[in-house]
Amino acid sequence: MSIHIGAKPGDIAETVLMPGDPYRARWAAETYLDNPRLVNEVRGMLGYTGTWKGNPVTIHGSGMGMPSLSIYANELIRDYGAKTLIRIGSCGGMQTHVSIRDVIVAMTASSISTPSRGIFKEFNFAPPADWTLLRNAVAAAEAKGAPVHVGGIYSADVFYDERPDLNEQMTRHGILGVEMEAAELYNLAARHGIRALCVLTVSDHLITHEALPSEDRERSFGDMVEIALDAAFP
């Protein structure tokens, strides 16, 4: 056990998919894994381990925001030996050529601040995704016929921001979408020498103001689970 994860030694697979919502973790595990079993429910953050095509996989919630993800990712890596962490979630689109339901595979994740800022101080460290995972995810998305975009995203540290000037500059500089976790995930992967990737579905759009109905979000989330699993186990 760790401070925030109640799993026993051996309960966590080396490959972990991390949606923000713990109930999405349960849904994904029950839908896509064979013989999923609950391995964590401390503070309501659910984690399940099962197999996919014979490969051990854990699907564990991360919570919302980089500080929450940092807690779970650190413990999964340090205390349970996780080697591959893939964030699967939703994002807001920031380019006109990126449409609702499209998939974004994050090559890099820019941010104003992350929990790792205390280590780097004035240095703006820019870790990328793992290349092999990224390549596999793009191939999996294309094989499914899912519109896919590869490039930079923005990891915000607030949900209700009031910075239209910053959004304008990110759009100008080609940022594809905004979410709240990937930048710290990529920092931690670099620090601990593991593989990490962020695969997102565009659920709403900052420019067009479109948004997916709730029933469509679940179907789109399913595509991301499959893409992430194919990326980890091509």
Binding residues for a purine D-ribonucleoside: 4, 179-181, 203-204
Beta strands in the chain, from DSSP E residues, in sequence order? 15-18, 34-40, 47-52, 55-60, 84-93, 103-111, 148-155, 177-179, 195-205
Instruction: Decide the pairing of beta strands 15-18 and 195-205.
Output: unpaired
Question: Would residue 204 show up in a list of annotated catalytic residues for this protein?
Answer: yes
Do the beta carbons of residue 177 and residue 150 sit within 8 Å?
no
Nearest to 130 by CA among 108, 163, 155: 108
Residue of 79, 157, 204, 216 marked active site = 204
Residue ranges for the known binding site are: 4, 20, 24, 43, 87-90, 179-181, 203-204
Q: 125-143 burial by CB neighbour count: b if 16+ within 10 A, else e? A: eebbbbeebbebbbebbee
> Would you report the helix, strand and coil content of the chain in percent, each value rounded to 5?
35, 30, 35
Could you tell me which residues are beta bridge partners of residue 103? 148, 201
Catalytic site residues?
Answer: 204
